[in-house]
Structure 1
């Protein structure tokens, strides 16, 4: 899958996801941070699922109707575990994400908001 990791996602997750065969870009390699609107637009234009810790992307997508290619939001997950959680969620919910769903993931729950 094509993925765009927000700056707030642990950089090591990019390596884990790449090694698993995903096409990954990590915004943490960009200076300065381009801002949420630009990150979401870049993910959409490149057909990438956005992985973030930031709830503002859901607001941009739902409240303001910004287009996206799927959003995976990680909540309260330790940095070093973010990559492994992403791998599990991407495998299990690939279909929903590829259809533009927004997933909110905690250590014990996945909430799915299907694409409209």
Structure 2
């Protein structure tokens, strides 16, 4: 699966997904400091799911109707980077078929997947 990881996402998560065979573009390695709109555009151009911990993407997708291949929002503050990587990769591996075209929120105890209606 293809992902675009926003710059606020821990590198450990990016590396773990790459180890699992996923293609992951990482904003800090490409164009650090680009706007949320540009990040979403880049994810759409690549047909990639956006991985982020920035809640602003919910507004862009749902309130402003911006098209998205899919967004995975991590809400894992306070956890170690290893725990975050474990939780995110486990959720992605368990729900791979449901993530495209959806807005997914991953918390330490829950995964919510909502289809995006464009």
TM-score normalised by structure 2 residue count: 0.90
Deviation at 1:32, TM superposition (A): 3.6
CA distance in 2, matches of 1:92, 1:31: 30
In structure 1, runs of 5+ residues without a counterpart are: none
Alpha-carbon distance change, 83 to 76 in structure 1, aligned in 2, over 3 angstroms = closer
Looking at structure 2, the residues matched to 112 and 45 of structure 1 have their Cα atoms a distance apart, in angstroms, of 22
Unpaired runs of 5+ residues, structure 2, are none
Superposition deviation, residue 76 in structure 1: 2.5
Q: What TM-score results when the alignment is normalised by the length of structure 1?
A: 0.91
In structure 2, the partner of 1:83 is: 85
1:7 partner SS: coil
Superposed counterparts of 1:48-59, under 5 Å: 48-59=48-59
Query: In the TM superposition, what whole-angstrom CA distance separates every residue of 1:3-44 from its partner, at most 9, and x where no partner exists?
Result: 111000011211111010000111122454111000011001
Give the Cα separation in 1 of the matches to 2:13 and 2:59: 24
Q: In structure 2, what is the equivalent of residue 111 of structure 1?
A: 112
Q: Any conservation in 2 of the 1:54–1:73 contact (CA below 8 Å)?
A: yes
Q: How many residues align?
A: 115
1:20 equivalent to 2:11? Answer no
SS in 2 for 1:93: helix
In 2, Cα distance between equivalents of 1:18 and 1:76: 20
